[in-house]
Chain A
Amino acid sequence: EIVLTQSPATLSLSPGERATLSCRASQSVGTYLAWYKQKAGQGPRLLIYDASNRAADIPARFSGSGSGADFTLTISSLEPEDFAVYYCQHRSSWPWTFGQGTKVEIK
Chain B
Amino acid sequence: QVQLQESGPGLVKPSETLSLTCTVSGGSISYYYWSWIRQPPGKGLETIGYIYSTGSANYNPSLGGRVTMSVDTSKNQFSLKLTSVTAADTAVFYCARRGQLMYLDLWGRGTLVTVSS
Among B43, B60, B61, B105, which residue has its beta carbon within 8 angstroms of that of A46? B105
Instruction: Find residues 70-117 in chain B having any chain A CB closer than 8 Å to their own CB.
Output: 94, 96, 101-105, 107-110
Contact with B along A42-59 (1 / 0, CB 8 A): 111110011001010000
Which residues of chain A are within 8 angstroms of B60 by Cβ–Cβ distance? 94-95
Q: Chain B's nearest CB lies how many Å from the CB of A51? A: 11
Which segment, of A17-25, A75-83, A98-106, faces chain B? Answer: A98-106
Which residues of chain A are within 8 angstroms of B102 by Cβ–Cβ distance? 49, 91
Interface residue tally for chain A (C-beta within 8 Å): 24
Does chain B have a CB within 8 A of A34? Answer: yes
B105 touches A55 (CB 8 A): yes
Among A42, A87, A91, A95, which residue has its beta carbon within 8 angstroms of that of B61? A95
A98 and B105 CA atoms in complex are apart in Å by: 15
A44 touches B45 (CB 8 A): yes
Which residues of chain B are within 8 angstroms of A34 by Cβ–Cβ distance? 103-104
A98 touches B103 (CB 8 A): no
Q: Which 4 A-B pairs have the closest CB atoms?
A: A43-B107, A98-B45, A95-B60, A100-B44
Known A-B contacts: A44-B107, A91-B102, A98-B47. Give 16 more (CB < 8 A).
A1-B62, A42-B109, A43-B94, A43-B108, A44-B45, A44-B104, A46-B105, A49-B101, A49-B103, A53-B101, A55-B105, A94-B58, A94-B60, A95-B47, A98-B46, A101-B44
